[in-house]
Structures are given as C-alpha cells and as structure tokens.
Amino acid sequence: MAKGKVYQPVIGLEVHLQSKTESKMFCPCPADYFGKEPNTQTCPTCLGLPGALPSINEKAIDHCIKLALALHCKINKETKFDRKNYFYPDLPKGYQISQYDQPIGYEGYLEIDIDGDARRIRITRVHQEEDTGKSIHEKDHTLLDFNKSGVPLIEVVSEPDFETVEEVIEYAKELRRTVRYLRISDADMEKGQMRFELNISLKEAGAKGLPDYKVEVKNIGSISVLEKVINSEIKRQSTILQKGKNPVQETRGLKNMSGETLSQRFKEGSSDYRYFPEPDLPPIEIDDAWIERVSEEIPELPGDKRKRFEKQYGLERDVIRNITVNRKRADWFEEAVKGASKEVAIEVGNWMIGDFKRLLNNSKLKVQKSSPKASQPMAGKLKPNYLVELVELHKSGKISGSVAKQVLEESFKTGKSPNEIVKKKGLEQVSDSEELEKVAQKVMRDNPKVVEEIKGGKEPAIQFLVGQVMRETRGKANPKVVEELLRKEFGL
C-alpha cells in the first residue's frame, strides 16, 4: 500500500462488565468492593491461597445468561470454566478462571441505530469470568489490593464488524443501556465497571476480507477515551501504511488520555495461556427451564422501547433517545402521558428533554429521584402527571409559554400542581384586549424612539414593544393578541 490510498478501519471490541451480585464469583466475599479499605473484602479463595476451593455464584450465571439472551445469542447448554494461565502480580493464583471453548452464549448480535439506520454488530461470544485484583503503582513500589479479585465479570466479544468510530461508540452505549435495563450491571465507568479492549487494523477502502495484521489496545476505561484511541490508531496506522509498510501485530497500551498508544508486547495467541478445564469446578448444565426462567425476567430492551415510543407516541428520534436512556426515565414518561393524546405526549417529551431536564441538571437530581414513587407526590418535587397538566394549561391558552416555564420551576421546587400555582398566583394569560390595550399604550409612551422608528418603516421593531408588554405583565399577556393590538395601532 502506498501514499494517497484511502483506508478503512476494521474494528472488533471486547467489553468487560462487572456483574451486579451480592457476592463474588467463586467465594462468599462481598462483591461491592468499591471504596472499601484495601484487602478487607477477601478470603483464602479470592486471595488465591493454596488449598482454597472455589464455588459457583449462580446469580452471576443468571446474569450472564440474561445478557447472552438479550444479545440474541445461542446458549451452550453444557458449559464449563477454564483456567487462563498467566503471571501478573494482581492475579495471585497465577491463572484467571474464565471460559475457553464453551462460553455461556455465542453467535448473537446487537442492533445499533446510526442516524436512524439500523446496523447489526455480530457478537462472537458472551462468557463469564472473574476480575483480578488491583495494582496501585506508587513512586518506587507497587501496592496490591485484592478486594476486586474474584468480582464477577462478563466479557462480550464482537466480530470485527465496525467500520467507523461512530458505530463503536454507539455499540458501547447501547450495550451499556442494555445491561442497565437488565439491571445486571451499573456499568459505571468511573468505578471501572465497564472496560474495553479494542482490536483495530486498516484495509484499503472497499477491499474484501480482513487485513493481515491486528493491533490490540487494552485497558480502556471510558467511552470517550475509546473514541480517542480509535482516532489516534487510525492516524498512526495509516501513516505507516502510506509509507508502504505494515503495522506490527502487537498489543498496545494507553500512553495518555488523549488516546495515543505505545507498544507493550507482541500479541500472544491463545496457546500462550495454556487454557485447560478448571478441575475444582463442576461443568454447568443450563437446561431449558433455566433459560426460560431467565428469559422471563428480560424487560423490554432499549431498541424495542425506542421503536415502540416512535410508533405509540410519535416522538422525535432525539427525544426518544433521551427519554429511553434508562428504564426509570422511560417509565416516568409513560406514567406521565398515560391516557393523554399523542399531541400532549409529544409536548411532554419536549418539556422532559428541555426545561425539565435543565432543572434536574441544575439541581443534580435524576428523573427517578425527582419522584421515586411516581404516584406519590414528594415535597418539593414534580409528579409525572404535572407535566401533562402544564402542557394542557399552555395548549388551552390559559398560560403563556414564558409563564409555563415559571410554573414548571415553581412546581419542581414546591411539589404543588401547575393548576394550583396558576390559580393562586393569578398567572392566567391575559387575552383581554381592553386590559392589554392599556399596557400597550403605556409601553408606547415609555418608548417614543421605538414608536418613531416603527412609524418610519422599521416594522420588526414591533417585536420589541411586544416584549415590553410581556415584561410589564410578567409574561402573562397573550403575545399574539398583543402583536395584533400593536399592529392595529400602527395601521400595519
């Protein structure tokens, strides 16, 4: 390959997700290790002491089956654990218990939405393993914390189906939404609950088949860094290819947070891990009853919910994506618009991603926390049906748009219903011409210059006067009526 050629990335992704279980994968230690005093959530098993025996956490297997099913995978009815042997200080046993040739799930897919187009990314496998401990590197020494050692980890491996960075990012986000919908992982990247390994190479645009090399980048801890790494690798590898050379097949690590990578070691094949069946654990038989029980616990998944919201409520794509980002927000919306018309639902959706979201962000609350029990008003918080009330007050012309914003804020703060607030504060929109006429006259007297300009032909300045009337009436005036009045006044 040489200069001037156009290259296209070929990307595959491995995602590690910490499963949300009470105890660790193979011992009774608590899995909720984050922020705990180092080495306090450990036992002989997760410390890898000789003679300690592992036992299987069935809840974790449930979670793994659940994700595999949600990703349309086939389930291996006969499955087992294997030892993956390698040496690293944070791996006290000298091997990690993982799955080699009989993963729990295989041959699935995840559908992602790229600018409204559906794209299927094939999933090679979904398997269960355990997390390692943590090395803390200090100036001249390394400390080890084994609280994380043995926490259940699900690995989702994709086929090299990604052709753009956007696809990878959307896939990572959709996978995160999916595990959150399934409630099997919080996928909180700040706590290391979702991590990525990338394999990326380039081929000439339009060329068939896969490139003859593959670069792996390990230990990517966030979606934003993942995006940077992909962009930086595309740049690095295309520079090499344009010189007529081939990038080295290797594993690279993060050099810095801007996504640059550096060579770590030549890639080992799976033979280097000397996988063999874990002798201390029995094989697992996943029968139909088990699969059925787990599949009954799978809720409507984000992709299906988005499609339904579009059909049922006629919401715009961006509004839907925002509302369905988690189950609680979507439930909140559905609770709000129960029985309402499509028209009202669309307005409620707009409020949710607009002013309501702004209020939530400012108050650092999340929708679900604004009203944990949707049917029960919380002091100082907005009930879902209040948004419908607000939309109806606005639509019927009882309150103006700017008053609606004030009412929302008040309702959000006090938990009072919009109807109550409007009534108590006398915020009904004033459409009465006589009353508005008086205000309009006053505004014209106060702004003689503007009046002269309008008379001189500068018609758009009329909007300034409309604004002044709105201000005088604290947003209560019906702006349409005001504009009509003023136009009449100027004979326009």
Please name the residues in contact with 259: beta carbons below 8 A apart, sequence gap of 6 or more. Answer: 225, 227, 228, 229, 230, 231, 232
Question: Nearer Cβ to Zn ion, position 13 or 29?
Answer: 29
Among the listed ranges 46-54, 127-135, 419-427, 459-467, the one in contact with Zn ion (CB under 5 A) is: 46-54
Question: Nearer Cβ to Zn ion, position 29 or 301?
Answer: 29
Distance, CA of 160 to chain centre: 22
Interface with Zn ion, residue 64, by CB under 5 A: no
Please report how close the Cβ of residue 47 comes to Zn ion at its closest, in angstroms.
Answer: 7
CA distance 23 to 227: 33
One DSSP character per residue, 178-227 reads HHHHHTS----GGGT-EEEEEEEEEEETT--S--S--EEEEEE--HHHHH
Give the helix/strand (H/E) hosting 346.
Answer: helix 342-353
SS3 30: strand
Rg of the chain (C-alpha set): 30
CB-neighbour burial class of residue 266 (10 A; exposed 0-12, middle 13-18, buried 19+): exposed
Please report how close the Cβ of residue 39 comes to Zn ion at its closest, in angstroms.
Answer: 11
Please report how close the Cβ of residue 24 comes to Zn ion at its closest, in angstroms.
Answer: 5
Question: Nearer Cβ to Zn ion, position 46 or 202?
Answer: 46
Among the listed ranges 45-53, 131-139, 173-181, 393-401, the one in contact with Zn ion (CB under 5 A) is: 45-53
Please report how close the Cβ of residue 194 comes to Zn ion at its closest, in angstroms.
Answer: 23
Alpha helices of 209-338 — where are they, by DSSP H? 223-242, 288-296, 302-313, 317-323, 327-336
Size of residue set near Zn ion by CB under 5 A: 5
Please report how close the Cβ of residue 30 comes to Zn ion at its closest, in angstroms.
Answer: 9
Interface with Zn ion, residue 46, by CB under 5 A: yes
Q: How do beta strands 215-220 and 250-254 pair?
A: parallel
Alpha helices of 367-461 — where are they, by DSSP H? 367-370, 384-395, 401-414, 418-425, 433-446, 448-455
Interface with Zn ion, residue 337, by CB under 5 A: no
Residues 76, 284: contact at Cβ < 8 Å? no
Interface with Zn ion, residue 29, by CB under 5 A: yes
Interface with Zn ion, residue 97, by CB under 5 A: no
CB-neighbour burial class of residue 355 (10 A; exposed 0-12, middle 13-18, buried 19+): middle
Question: Nearer Cβ to Zn ion, position 46 or 121?
Answer: 46
Residue position matching structure tokens 């002491």: 49
CA distance 316 to 335: 19
Please report how close the Cβ of residue 409 comes to Zn ion at its closest, in angstroms.
Answer: 50
Among the listed ranges 38-46, 49-57, 231-239, 482-490, the one in contact with Zn ion (CB under 5 A) is: 38-46
| φ, ψ dihedrals at 120, nearest 5° | -95, 125
Among the listed ranges 42-50, 131-139, 387-395, 415-423, the one in contact with Zn ion (CB under 5 A) is: 42-50
Q: Which of residues 128-187 bind Zn ion (CB under 5 A)?
A: none
| φ, ψ dihedrals at 106, nearest 5° | -155, 160
Hey, what's the torsion of the CAs at 342, 346, 351, 353, to 10 degrees? Answer: 130
Please name the residues in contact with 331: beta carbons below 8 A apart, sequence gap of 6 or more. Answer: 374
Question: Nearer Cβ to Zn ion, position 43 or 450?
Answer: 43
Please report how close the Cβ of residue 44 comes to Zn ion at its closest, in angstroms.
Answer: 7
Residues 130, 150: contact at Cβ < 8 Å? yes
Region of residue 42 (phi > 0: left; psi between -120 and 50: alpha; otherwise: beta): beta
Please report how close the Cβ of residue 144 comes to Zn ion at its closest, in angstroms.
Answer: 15
Residues 261-280 as x/- pattern, contact with Zn ion by CB under 5 A? --------------------
Among 10, 25, 27, 404, binds Zn ion (CB under 5 A): 27
Please report how close the Cβ of residue 149 comes to Zn ion at its closest, in angstroms.
Answer: 8
Among the listed ranges 39-47, 66-74, 223-231, 316-324, the one in contact with Zn ion (CB under 5 A) is: 39-47
Question: Nearer Cβ to Zn ion, position 81 or 309?
Answer: 81
Please report how close the Cβ of residue 95 comes to Zn ion at its closest, in angstroms.
Answer: 16
Among the listed ranges 21-29, 206-214, 240-248, 381-389, the one in contact with Zn ion (CB under 5 A) is: 21-29
Q: What is the DSSP letter of 163?
A: -
Interface with Zn ion, residue 43, by CB under 5 A: yes
Please report how close the Cβ of residue 276 comes to Zn ion at its closest, in angstroms.
Answer: 23
Please report how close the Cβ of residue 43 comes to Zn ion at its closest, in angstroms.
Answer: 3
Among the listed ranges 28-36, 104-112, 211-219, 474-482, the one in contact with Zn ion (CB under 5 A) is: 28-36
Q: Which of residues 295-314 bind Zn ion (CB under 5 A)?
A: none
Among the listed ranges 40-48, 263-271, 301-309, 463-471, the one in contact with Zn ion (CB under 5 A) is: 40-48
Interface with Zn ion, residue 444, by CB under 5 A: no
Q: Which residues bind Zn ion (CB under 5 A)?
A: 27, 29, 43, 45-46
